Amino acid sequence: MNTLLVTGAAGFIGSNFVYYMLEKHPDLKIIGLDALTYAGNLETLAPAMENERFRFVKADITDRKAVFKLFDETPVDAVVNFAAESHVDRSIDTPEIFLKTNILGTQVLLDCCRAHGNIRYHQVSTDEVYGDLPLDRPDLFFTEETPIHTSSPYSASKAGADLLVMAYHRTYGAAVTISRCSNNYGPYHFPEKLIPLMITNALEGKPLPVYGEGKNVRDWLYVEDHCKAIDLILRSGVPGEVYNIGGHNERTNLDVVKAVLRLLGKDESAIVYVKDRPGHDMRYAIDPTKIKNALGWYPETDFDTGLKKTVDWYLTHRDWWEHVKSGEYADYYEKMYKNR
Ligand code: NAD
Ligand code: DAU
């Protein structure tokens, strides 16, 4: 593989993947494509811009003309699609853009890969396509055989994209793989998501809004471990296969928030319990047996280590998140939390 196209490269996981791949594969060239929505931040890619093996292209994956033009002009050996509307709460408010970007954008990329000689394509999906698990059945986990059963417009749009990817494999023989990962955390995580929101609110002396009673469980994975898994799938995964990625790192939301406060040396008085998210999934938990056995993947970073690294990153990158929070996101935050 000479040239990799990474879509959604200016977002949280896409940017971490760009850095991981540039470091890991010294001959690889990367084109980072991103529409720079509210979630995409070119400041995040500033160090990559210095690297002669990286090139940034501003484009929307739903813009068929622009995406085809890029593929026509530049040979691409593989595509990893991170570009998406990714926040569940926003999907409850404005579902349409989720369907457009997450489903129709995926279709444009699949069509491009097909029209340019069956380019290898990897779809970054989510464990949310499996719905949720009950809190009183800790013996249950999501496997690749778990039926699709979505809860939010976000997860429904990601499931729609997954089905389309598989349809292109069966109908056209597209060389595709899909990964379904649990909740990521780490550097460059947009501060609308639980962990970065709690860290930055605590640092700003603001309340920490916990939905419902804070009993919902998420299966946390340090972002670098996710990047490592995608690299393995891209190089050694079998076309037409789905791989679950997760690290048996389950925590209730309240435990996560308290752990953040402990690392910052703050007490719990800023925690406020706010109105729950409609349709709120109770528990996610991945069974990673398939990727472990097939590709030898395992999570290297345990939660305590990963959370400490993450908190330290936000402490030392205040400019990054203060800038993010001072823009359009400030209006969103006001609207989303004022009546909760
Ligand atoms: P993010 O919101 O931080 O980044 C998404 C990026 O996509 C942004 O840079 C945004 O500008 C870009 N984008 C949005 N619409 C676009 C469009 N139409 N054309 C081009 N670019 C567009 O999201 P993330 O957390 O980095 O998630 C990346 C992918 O991983 C998503 O597909 C998401 O569903 C999936 N995922 C995320 C997690 C998680 O915990 N964050 C877990 C599993 C799967
Ligand atoms: O599981 C993978 C998914 O993880 C990805 O597909 C999504 O793109 C990603 O956003 C994430 O979805 P969640 O809904 O789990 O993440 P979020 O950070 O929004 O919320 C995590 C949990 O914390 C969830 O139970 C809701 C709760 N929460 C969230 C926010 C923003 C709060 O209690 N308070 C908050 O202010």
- Distance (Å, whole) CA 67 – CA 119: 14
User: Structure tokens of 86?
Assistant: 């990714």
User: Which residues make beta-bridge pairs with 1?
Assistant: none
Q: Does the beta carbon of 39 lie inside 6 Å of ligand 1? A: yes
Best CA proximity match to 121, nearest among 157, 71, 189, 57: 71
Buried b (16+ CB within 10 A) or exposed e, 198-209: bbbbbbeeeebb
CA distance 191 to 171: 40
Distance of alpha carbon 284 from alpha carbon 196, whole angstroms = 19
Q: Which residue has 């970007």 as its token pair?
A: 101
pLDDT tens string 180-219: 999 999 999 999 999 999 999 999 999 999 999 999 999 9
To test the pocket of ligand 2, the residue of 12, 81, 88 to mutate (highest count of ligand atoms within 8 Å of its CB) is 88
In order, the DSSP letters of 50-70 are TSTTEEEEE--TT-HHHHHHH
* pLDDT at 224 > cutoff 90: yes
The reported pLDDT for the residue numbered 338 is: 84
105 C-beta closer than 6 A to ligand 1:
yes
How close is the Cα of 218 to the center of ligand 2, in Å? 8
Residue 283 CB less than 6 A away from ligand 2 = no
Ligand at minimal distance from the CA of 12 is 1
| Residue 245, strand partner residues | 181
Residue 161 burial by Cβ neighbours in a 10 Å radius (0-12, 13-18, 19+): buried
Where exactly are the structural domains of the chain? 3-184+222-248+283-301
pTM above threshold 0.95? yes
Q: What are the tens digits of pLDDT across the range 272-296? A: 999 999 999 999 999 999 999 999 9
Crossing angle of helices 318-326 and 328-337, rounded to 10°: 70
Residue nearest to atom 8 of ligand 2 (CA): 86
Confidence of residue 335 (pLDDT cuts 50, 70, 90): confident
The domain 3-184+222-248+283-301 belongs to what CATH superfamily? NAD(P)-binding Rossmann-like Domain (3.40.50.720)
What is the reported pLDDT for 327? 80
